[in-house]
A and B are shown apart, each in its own frame.
Chain A
């Protein structure tokens, strides 16, 4: 693996997504307070932190599920307020879920096809009848989905109901569905949670491949430090809803506040 992997197709570019002074509270509970960071195009950006640090809340804010009480989010230079998740998705940000949100009874293929939903143009009636333009459209979508299936090496499970697959593969299907939207920014919520070492290694490789081949910008949440340090360009560290570190993996590793948050300090 150590052969000439240096240098990616797309170099890390301009800021694509900027979070500025975001605070989010649920009643009296402050999930996020005054968090700011940015994500550059084509980079792998990690958000880490102990349990309850506000990582998933941060993702949900970007994703449009929660609307922050304070602060702004700029995507592609445009500030957005109160966007619904599907609007965010349409603008090119897709995500995967920590606790899988797949259709268990549907086949792998159909699950991934749902990722193309936002791109379908023909009406529901034509789609149901599968005639004319709807059929042509479905074939085009299917082609994209098949490329993703090939990319993630899940050909053998194309027709298997998702509920029958082992957890590691379900995670891969979740990723496939997110990729089917051809996102510019991909948010991954603990993609490695609950996996064994081999599955983690596979997932790492897929994440890097996605980043490299499609140039997709990746924002991932993870609490397995070693994984994050290996694959991220830059890391944001949250603790109790506050940002306590931001920088390259090496910087973050050396940051005293981060070490304290992870290992605990006597107060």
Chain B
């Protein structure tokens, strides 16, 4: 890398650098009216300048917070940088949060200015206006439907840009002086954590930490300004922010905003990203789609697919890792590449992917190997909001399904006696906003961050995560109980969307299962099994039998692991509804809130342990528009076979 970044210690300074060095290269693309519209770095910088000028004209000053509510849109990212130009702090909020969830961050940071994407977001903000008296300015990007809104707080982005250009005409030196005042140690952004554990906390990150981590990972993977990323996950999530803001600012690559959430797949095929991130559930959903479509294909195609996937499973990973493979195998793989893998990668929009990451939760080994075997360089990483993401990344050629790789340059790892992972890294957060107590609890005097994750480093120096420390429990007889480990094993089956395991302090383990409507629905169709809807299908005996097979396979697996043999699942039921973030059962990043689910469905848990065969349930559901309704159903409960630890080897 010949490019010198010395002295460029804030994002606005990096932006000006790119506008100078690669002004005509694409910075952001957005599909609008069916066509990819491109902003060059120079155009991006102009937009940022005008927005910053507009914000300054509106009284936004150093240290103020600017909330951003919207999907991935060029303006959202431009506003992020505009706030930073003025020494302000952008606070991206989850765009799919309901109004009440937005009130806390706005109150917590006494936010005065908000940029909202469209009418939907504006409506939510107006709804919480009475609880958030600090909110004085709401800017909106997409004017559709907002023409007749008369609230004095509202202003369109176009108007703001106009104010900005005017402001900068009057005082041309103002903005450059403001940008020059910024330093690496200043706060760059604040992210509210999704709150798996209680109330949301604002994580304060500095320019230095974000830029340092973004660069460490970019150097490791050799990212450069020719790379392309599809920005399709919520900008309020630190990961998306790193991939679509921090890293492009560090390397100068281009990000692409899809047309809408529904068009992500086809937009991805249009763009052909070279650098890609997705949580395991996205990879899983893609594979489910592929499998379903393969089942509907002609017999010839099906047998070709089966044959070459077998070849890929055997040698694909080795070829990707650069290990030596026999000539005949190599030929077979080459043919498979021509007939199956290449077209498949193309359908997935991953033809040009050089580096793909997954993180956030454990990925199923089969799923992981599938993508690697067809030649997609999928790797795992470990990190969190508090660490500016990059803590551990699997380097090329050293990829294992069950670890998250060794520490990235600059990171130190350590463990408490309870196996809790501690981290020290230049990417660590400054503090939790206005919450010194929480800050002190998770960051000790020596600068170690207590992750709350339990794990260990294996013989190759790779980190392996088992579960959350607080979730690792004990069965009544004292045996180790790691619920997430069990749930993950269950979720690796395509038919199971979500699972919740109970067992802490109990004599045995029982579980709730959430079936995957798409996969089970298709399975039922293939067997001409009629069903009226989700609740009906979930209660069919045939589906129970299918799920029991899955549970018993997990039990057989567990029997082979001495520490966890006691955690075999004795009884289960299939829930009558999908677990939903809107009902508080999942976090916004779609992780199960186990304790909450346990409390909400206490009667079902009691039934699991009480030996009943059937339980009636009535549940409140909350629809997206805030209305509530109720579902009632009779749930069956089934016993499963468990395996004695020794006999398991013979059975398997």
Contacts and interface: CB of A to CB of B under 8 A. Distances in A.
A143 B418 CA distance: 62
B620 interface: no
A155 B262 contact: yes
A149 B150 CA distance: 28
B4 interface: no
B30 interface: no
Interface stretch (A2-10, A59-67, A227-235, A240-248): A2-10
A209 B144 CA distance: 9
Given A143-B33, A146-B34, A3 B126 contact: yes
B472 to A, nearest CB: 42
Given A4-B148, A4-B150, A158 B123 contact: no
A14 interface: no
Contact of A155 (B147, B149, B259): B259
A212 B144 CA distance: 11
Given A3-B126, A146-B34, A156 B260 contact: yes
A156 B262 CA distance: 6
B33 A146 contact: yes
Interface in A150-183: 150-151, 153, 155-156, 158-159
Contact of A4 (B149, B260, B262): B149
Contacts of B147: 9, 212
B148 A1 contact: no
A156 B149 contact: no
Given A153-B260, A155-B263, A7 B33 contact: no
Contacts, number: 43
B562 interface: no
A76 B401 CA distance: 72
B626 to A, nearest CB: 11
A156 B263 contact: yes
B326 interface: no
B34 A3 contact: no
B148 A155 contact: no
A125 to B, nearest CB: 27
A178 B144 CA distance: 21
A190 to B, nearest CB: 25
B197 interface: no
Nearest to A9: B147
Contact of B148 (A6, A150, A158): A6
A81 interface: no
B493 to A, nearest CB: 29
Contacts of A153: 260
Contacts of A150: 32-33
A147 interface: yes
B151 interface: yes
Interface in B124-150: 126, 144-145, 147-150
Contact of A7 (B34, B126, B148, B262): B148
Interface in B239-266: 259-260, 262-263, 266
Given A3-B126, A4-B148, A7-B148, A158 B260 contact: no
Given A155-B259, A155-B263, A156-B262, A3 B33 contact: no
Interface residues of B, number: 18
A9 B266 CA distance: 36
A158 B123 CA distance: 28
Contacts of B33: 143, 146-147, 149-150
A3 B262 contact: no
A146 B147 CA distance: 21
Nearest to A144: B33
B526 to A, nearest CB: 20
B34 A155 contact: yes
B123 A1 contact: yes
A149 B260 CA distance: 12
Nearest to A8: B148
Contacts of B259: 155-156
Contacts of A142: 34
A228 to B, nearest CB: 22
A209 B148 contact: no
A5 B34 CA distance: 30
B618 to A, nearest CB: 22
Contacts of B149: 3-4
B263 A149 contact: no
B34 A149 contact: yes
A4 B145 contact: no
Contacts of B263: 155-156
Contacts of B260: 153, 155-156
Contacts of A146: 33-35
A1 B126 CA distance: 10
B527 to A, nearest CB: 24
Contacts of B123: 1, 3
B36 to A, nearest CB: 13
Contacts of A159: 266
Interface string A1-32: 10111111100000000000000000000000
A221 to B, nearest CB: 26
Nearest to B32: A150
Contacts of A6: 148
A159 B267 CA distance: 12
A231 B156 CA distance: 28
A140 to B, nearest CB: 13
A143 B35 CA distance: 10
A112 to B, nearest CB: 11
Interface string B25-57: 000000011110000000000000000000000
Contacts of A158: 34
Contacts of B266: 156, 159
Most buried by B among A1, A4, A6, A159: A4
Contacts of B151: 3-4
A8 B260 CA distance: 28
Contacts of B150: 4
Given A4-B151, A156-B260, A209 B34 contact: no
A158 B260 CA distance: 12
B296 to A, nearest CB: 14
Interface in B90-137: 123, 126
A181 to B, nearest CB: 19
A195 B260 CA distance: 24
A213 B123 CA distance: 19
| 5 closest Cβ pairs, A-B complex | A156-B262, A146-B33, A146-B34, A4-B150, A4-B149
Interface of A: 1, 3-9, 142-143, 146-147, 149-151, 153, 155-156, 158-159, 209, 212-213
Given A155-B260, A155-B262, A156-B263, 10 more contacts: A4-B151, A146-B33, A146-B34, A146-B35, A155-B34, A156-B260, A156-B266, A158-B34, A159-B266, A213-B144
28 contacts: A1-B123, A3-B123, A3-B126, A3-B151, A4-B148, A4-B149, A4-B151, A9-B148, A142-B34, A143-B33, A146-B33, A146-B34, A146-B35, A147-B33, A150-B32, A150-B33, A151-B144, A155-B34, A155-B259, A155-B260, A156-B260, A156-B262, A156-B263, A156-B266, A158-B34, A209-B145, A212-B147, A213-B144
